[in-house]
Structure 1
Amino acid sequence: MSSAAVFPDRSAHVSPSAMTRRRIVFAVLVGASLAGLALLMFASMHRGGILPVEGVLLALFLVTLPWLVIGFWNAVIGLALMRLSRNPAVAVNPLLADEDALAPIARSTAILVCLRNEEVEGVARSVETMLEGLLQEGVCRHFHLYLLSDSSWDEIIGAEERLAASLQARWGADIAVTYRRRSDNHAFKAGNIRDFCERWGAAHDFALVLDADSYMDAPAILRLVRLMQRHERLGIVQSLVVGLPTMSAFARIFQFGMRLGMRSYTLGSAWWQGDCGPYWGHNALIRLEPFIAACHLPELSGSGPLSGPVLSHDQVEAVLMRRAGYEVRVLPLEGGSFEQNPPDLIEFIRRDLRWCHGNMQYLKLLGMKGIRPVSRMQLVLAILMFAGSPAWVAFMMLSAGLVIFQDNAVLNFDPVLGGALFASIMGMVFAPKLATVLDILATPERRRAFGGTARILAGVVAEIVFSMLLAPVMALAHTVFIARLALGRGGTWSAQRRGLHAVPYASAVRRLWPQTLFGAAGVAWFASFATPVLIPALPVFLGPLVSIPLARWTASLSWGRAALASGLWRIPEEAAPNPDLCKLGLPALPALEPGAALAEAPVAAE
């Protein structure tokens, strides 16, 4: 059987019956995997009989599995598409089969740059470069730039006003520029965009939503616009967003891992999600008429941190757009769509906890009427993405207690079956990254772009070690935060620090003392009461134990410079920088130009 027969490239929409079959196949794969892992866990504990407390352990284990298993099968399907399909992107998004790269731009698009107390200099460079690209394409008259500010700091407001005046003076003859600042940032970014819709939405056909750290080049923007012009039932099209070149050691490691896992994961998820695809809230094009009519977010009833405005608005807006009969699709292709990742562990945790807060609000939205089954499942998975963390922490703490309070607890656990379970879990954890690595190594052009086989393999090993250290740190952060939510205490949605900076000891200790305490207690516990289990349990506790120096080290500018100079965790944009990216003033890129010294890179002092 040919590869085309396995994953055919279609020029028309995948039929509803074919999508149903895909979803049934995916559900069977996921269900069988969940059942198999549960049975393996049960068999591992069964040697001494299953006690009630072990039943609780099994239940907690099951809560942690869905996100993991779905990620694994997304990766497997994505790898199969990458290796067996002539055009993987068309196989999962058939709208791409008949796209016309030369079609004239005929619709009006609003470019929405959403700001809240952001460093204006970086925003200015991104916007200027984007507008210059649109001017070169000769399409400026079809676009209107909106700077939508929710800023509250006087110095930032002044800088935004100066930026708006500068943009209007330079570009006003070619593209309209509007600056608006809300004095009340109710509903945060979602409210910011809703305010735009009520004021100016009727004047435009589409809206390109960008965050302050977003950058899209003109070809990437025009591709989305042409796709939406051609397909009138396309409500949201989400580009595949990758990290900008960076000198931050933390961001380099993180986005290298994301780059490895993203393509296989996105292709696999798009294969079964189809027209119920993702919306990540930025670097995406939305059709304004149905968005304005059907995607107005509700105010969540009640009191406490899960009430009020919907914070993680993007997935809910995608669900509502699909309920209105419009498609939500991802463009699973790298190129031209970028974001800036958090430069250190502390900022990464802050961003993740904002998402956690918003996703936990979905508990109040699961009963929405009229939404598609796939959409409802996406909300459930968004909740489990964070709810699995306290289940994992409870599992580990209960296991540690069982070692002491239950006689022969270690002896009653079957080491052979337990080893098979551990190997299965680890394989599923790293499957998305390993799938893309296999594809990169099998493709000479991509292999060279990532620095060659030796650098790729060294980067992968180092990134896997880093991920194993990071995962329990993040799980504990989620657990503490969800406990605060349960007690009626929410978080604050403050501005993100995006520039390179050192992490002081005081900040690291203040943020990471729970992780450090957990790691130290875990190592001491197992060393005292179950020494044979300490080595296999060490990966769980080592990351939290060293979280404070890890935060300091990965924010160190000297380590970032060393990683950049060595080519470790290199991404293709560093190997052959796009001229537009070089205009963004990124600290990583000038150092790659001939004759440029690493020490001359414009970064903040450590």
Structure 2
Amino acid sequence: MTRPAPRSDWTVPALRLGIVAFALTNGIIGYLLFRGYWARGGVDWVEGAAGIAMFLGLTWLAWGAGVGLLGLFTLGRRPAIEPPPATGRTAVLVPIYNEDPASTFARVAAMCTGLDRLGVADRFDIAILSDTTSDAIALEEAGWFAQLARHAEDGCRVFYRRREINHGRKAGNIEDFITRSGAAYDYAVILDADSLVAAETLVAMAARMEASPDVGLIQTVPQIVSGHSLFGRIVQFSANYYSAAFAAGTAMLQGAEGPYWGHNAIVRMRAFAESCGLPVLSGKPPFGGAILSHDYVEAALLARMGWRVELHPDLGGSFEEGPENLVEFAKRDRRWCQGNLQYLRLLIAPRLRLWSRVVFAQGIMSYMASPLWFAFLALAAIAADRASGTFWLRPSNTGPALLLTAQVIALLLLPRLLILLRGAFDGTNRLYGGTGRVLVSVVCEVVFTTALAPIMLMVQCRAIWQILTGRDGGWPSTQRGTSQLDSVTAWRAVGWIVAFAAAATIVVIVSMPEAVAWLSPVLVPMLLSPFLVQWSSGPRGPKWLFQTPQERSMPHVDQDRHRVLDSWRMIDKAEAAS
């Protein structure tokens, strides 16, 4: 593993100005093209509101595309020399909350095995920090921890504790450990229950932290593994194949005020303890109470105190699991949405760096983009109906409409296509089965995500509506590994989308039949949403489709995890039989 070469001081501000200019330019061009839709002079308030919504949505779309394009041009730069191993002590923290203890503790055992193999187990302790609220699951945790302790008795030290009251949720769980035991360690690697990090990566993270005394946090880019359903494997392929470019772009853009995603990262214990005490927001949830999306806030607090927060995309060996169906994805997304909208109260917090505020705005916009596109579609349809003209494409105005459509498609597809082309030349595609297979996977991924986009738009719009009307989504536990959904579950989850789409279709057919063709790519997936949700939750397609390097050659740490888990379950069955 190698470390990226340092950037000059003027690079990051220049890149930030470039991305802002690229995004705004695309938004302005799109707005001018939108104005070109309307043949008559002047713009009434409906058309104006539609144009503003489109401008903001397109600017956000261009921002994301710009980050990906930036990353493409920065990949493969000459790396710096990896520093020597650290001499300080590192705590590996594994917060859990009503998880499957066998799977979670097997990941810990696999990391212990790797550290023992490298001969560095004496410098790493692993602490499992339970916030489990179920007494039955807590009893299982105690049993599986005994199994883990026997596995690790000759190697790295493992600890387990369960909080009686899970105040502050995950952030409070970490804070509790740091308050009680943080002084014994120089660094802390913070994981999630589904995180799996190779021992070589843990050693490299600690070494880089020790070699850079001004760095408070180093974030890795977790790669998704263990996807089984069609939904899970598409998420896994997309995250792994595209992430290198987008992560490189993010690292270049954010510089020393980089992102923190809450897991698979290492922090300097002293810096984190002194800087990252989180406030409890005044008022009741959803806008008050504990900060749910605490990771970006902690990164901002570190930067405020002068610590560098860096993203190191070159650090491999960092893994996590993804959701296996859209229902689980939406449940997690609802929590993130509420947490990100809390940033509205933090944008004007004192002494924050400017770019930290920009990151908060990005977090807000990542969810507000959905209602903006929804508003654009609704207002444009109303404006077209009021004008008594052909919806969207007027016979005398096809040029601007086609150009705007091409602009949206280019922003969505251009980064993907350039990543595909680069992979064909630099050999990356061979890791995914070859350029031919990658091309088919990319095309299928685009078709699938395009079909799911209207469904996710509605899911996020409902989440924002719930939050704005005072409904607290809380912190639901994650059902990891769940996959196949039955039709009843699918209908309960998205049946309301079908009802909305059916009503909207009737209104469009009756009042503006010329709009049916243009709105069908949005309405048809909504009408089919229960089928799409259920169908994508099961295994579909050939094994080579959406294949990733980790499937073609399983990482050693994942092999250790499977080996440990299989042996434990055999022991458990034998004990149950006796």
- TM normalised by structure 1 equals 0.88
Task: Output the CA distance in 1 between the equivalents of 2:318 and 2:143.
Answer: 27
> Is the contact made by 1:278 and 1:329 (CA closer than 8 Å) also made in structure 2?
yes
Residue in structure 2 matched with residue 387 of structure 1 by the alignment: 368
Q: Which amino acid aligns with 2:418?
A: A
Residues 171-210 of structure 1 show CA distances to partners (whole Å, capped at 9, x for unaligned) of: 2443222211112112211111111111111111111111
Please say if 1:107 is aligned against 2:101.
Answer: no
Task: Output the CA distance in 1 between the equivalents of 2:198 and 2:507.
Answer: 53
Identity %: 32
Task: Output the CA distance in 2 between the equivalents of 1:114 and 1:294.
Answer: 20
Residue in structure 1 matched with residue 272 of structure 2 by the alignment: 291
SS of the counterpart of 1:356? helix
Task: Output the CA distance in 2 between the equivalents of 1:204 and 1:309.
Answer: 27
SS of the counterpart of 1:147? strand
1:177 aligned residue (147, 150, 158): 158
1:307 aligned residue (288, 293, 296): 288
Residue in structure 2 matched with residue 144 of structure 1 by the alignment: 125
Counterparts of residues 497-576 of structure 1 (less than 5 Å): 497-557=479-539, 559=540, 562-564=541-543, 567-576=544-553
Task: Output the CA distance in 2 between the equivalents of 1:334 and 1:321.
Answer: 21
SS of the counterpart of 1:174? coil
Please say if 1:72 is aligned against 2:51.
Answer: no
Alpha-carbon shift at residue 394 of structure 1 (Å): 2.0
The 1:395–1:285 alpha-carbon spacing in structure 2 relative to 1, beyond 3 Å, is: same
> Is the contact made by 1:110 and 1:145 (CA closer than 8 Å) also made in structure 2?
yes
Alpha-carbon shift at residue 66 of structure 1 (Å): 3.5
The 1:336–1:151 alpha-carbon spacing in structure 2 relative to 1, beyond 3 Å, is: same
The 1:227–1:46 alpha-carbon spacing in structure 2 relative to 1, beyond 3 Å, is: farther
> Is the contact made by 1:242 and 1:334 (CA closer than 8 Å) also made in structure 2?
no
Residue in structure 2 matched with residue 584 of structure 1 by the alignment: 561
Counterparts of residues 197-596 of structure 1 (less than 5 Å): 197-333=178-314, 335-408=316-389, 410=391, 413=394, 414-444=397-427, 446-557=428-539, 559=540, 562-564=541-543, 567-585=544-562
Residue in structure 1 matched with residue 20 of structure 2 by the alignment: 27
The 1:78–1:104 alpha-carbon spacing in structure 2 relative to 1, beyond 3 Å, is: closer
Residue in structure 1 matched with residue 74 of structure 2 by the alignment: 81
> Is the contact made by 2:105 and 2:145 (CA closer than 8 Å) also made in structure 1?
no
Residues 527-581 of structure 1 show CA distances to partners (whole Å, capped at 9, x for unaligned) of: 4444444333322222222110111111124x2xx432xx100001111222332
Task: Output the CA distance in 2 between the equivalents of 1:483 and 1:411.
Answer: 28
Q: Which amino acid aligns with 1:14?
A: S
SS of the counterpart of 2:561? coil
The 1:315–1:451 alpha-carbon spacing in structure 2 relative to 1, beyond 3 Å, is: same
SS of the counterpart of 1:502? coil
> Is the contact made by 2:390 and 2:514 (CA closer than 8 Å) also made in structure 1?
no
Alpha-carbon shift at residue 485 of structure 1 (Å): 1.1
Alpha-carbon shift at residue 48 of structure 1 (Å): 5.0
The 1:458–1:198 alpha-carbon spacing in structure 2 relative to 1, beyond 3 Å, is: same
The 1:245–1:437 alpha-carbon spacing in structure 2 relative to 1, beyond 3 Å, is: farther
Task: Output the CA distance in 1 between the equivalents of 2:550 and 2:297.
Answer: 32
> Is the contact made by 2:106 and 2:561 (CA closer than 8 Å) also made in structure 1?
yes
Task: Output the CA distance in 2 between the equivalents of 1:450 and 1:528.
Answer: 49
> Is the contact made by 1:515 and 1:545 (CA closer than 8 Å) also made in structure 2?
yes
Q: Which amino acid aligns with 1:423?
A: A
Task: Name structure 2 gaps, 5 residues minimum.
Answer: 567-578
The 1:162–1:422 alpha-carbon spacing in structure 2 relative to 1, beyond 3 Å, is: same
Please say if 1:192 is aligned against 2:185.
Answer: no
Alpha-carbon shift at residue 218 of structure 1 (Å): 0.7
Task: Output the CA distance in 2 between the equivalents of 1:186 and 1:144.
Answer: 24
SS of the counterpart of 2:319? strand
> Is the contact made by 1:261 and 1:435 (CA closer than 8 Å) also made in structure 2?
no
Residues 237-277 of structure 1 show CA distances to partners (whole Å, capped at 9, x for unaligned) of: 11111110322211101221222321211111222211111
Residues 483-509 of structure 1 show CA distances to partners (whole Å, capped at 9, x for unaligned) of: 111111121311111123321222211
> Is the contact made by 2:96 and 2:129 (CA closer than 8 Å) also made in structure 1?
yes
Residues 382-423 of structure 1 show CA distances to partners (whole Å, capped at 9, x for unaligned) of: 000001111222222223333444422637853221111111
Task: Output the CA distance in 2 between the equivalents of 1:483 and 1:294.
Answer: 34
The 1:451–1:306 alpha-carbon spacing in structure 2 relative to 1, beyond 3 Å, is: same
Q: Which amino acid aligns with 1:563?
A: P
Task: Output the CA distance in 2 between the equivalents of 1:33 and 1:555.
Answer: 36
SS of the counterpart of 1:237? strand
> Is the contact made by 2:381 and 2:515 (CA closer than 8 Å) also made in structure 1?
no
> Is the contact made by 1:74 and 1:432 (CA closer than 8 Å) also made in structure 2?
no
Residue in structure 2 matched with residue 604 of structure 1 by the alignment: none
2:99 aligned residue (118, 121, 124): 118
Alpha-carbon shift at residue 307 of structure 1 (Å): 0.1
Alpha-carbon shift at residue 168 of structure 1 (Å): 2.6
Q: Which amino acid aligns with 2:542?
A: A
SS of the counterpart of 2:542? helix
> Is the contact made by 1:48 and 1:412 (CA closer than 8 Å) also made in structure 2?
no
> Is the contact made by 1:251 and 1:343 (CA closer than 8 Å) also made in structure 2?
yes
Q: Which moved more, 1:333-342 or 1:160-169?
A: 160-169
The 1:176–1:31 alpha-carbon spacing in structure 2 relative to 1, beyond 3 Å, is: same
The 1:492–1:411 alpha-carbon spacing in structure 2 relative to 1, beyond 3 Å, is: closer
Q: Which amino acid aligns with 2:560?
A: K
Q: Which amino acid aligns with 2:490?
A: A
> Is the contact made by 2:201 and 2:315 (CA closer than 8 Å) also made in structure 1?
no
Alpha-carbon shift at residue 478 of structure 1 (Å): 1.0
> Is the contact made by 1:512 and 1:547 (CA closer than 8 Å) also made in structure 2?
yes
Alpha-carbon shift at residue 289 of structure 1 (Å): 0.5
Aligned residues: 561
Q: Which amino acid aligns with 1:427?
A: A
Q: Which moved more, 1:218-227 or 1:23-32?
A: 23-32
SS of the counterpart of 1:329? strand
> Is the contact made by 2:197 and 2:557 (CA closer than 8 Å) also made in structure 1?
no
Q: Which amino acid aligns with 1:99?
A: E
Task: Output the CA distance in 2 between the equivalents of 1:256 and 1:540.
Answer: 25
Q: Give me the CA root mean square deviation.
A: 2.2
> Is the contact made by 1:250 and 1:343 (CA closer than 8 Å) also made in structure 2?
yes
Task: Output the CA distance in 2 between the equivalents of 1:22 and 1:384.
Answer: 20
Task: Name structure 1 gaps, 5 residues minimum.
Answer: 1-8, 91-96, 591-606
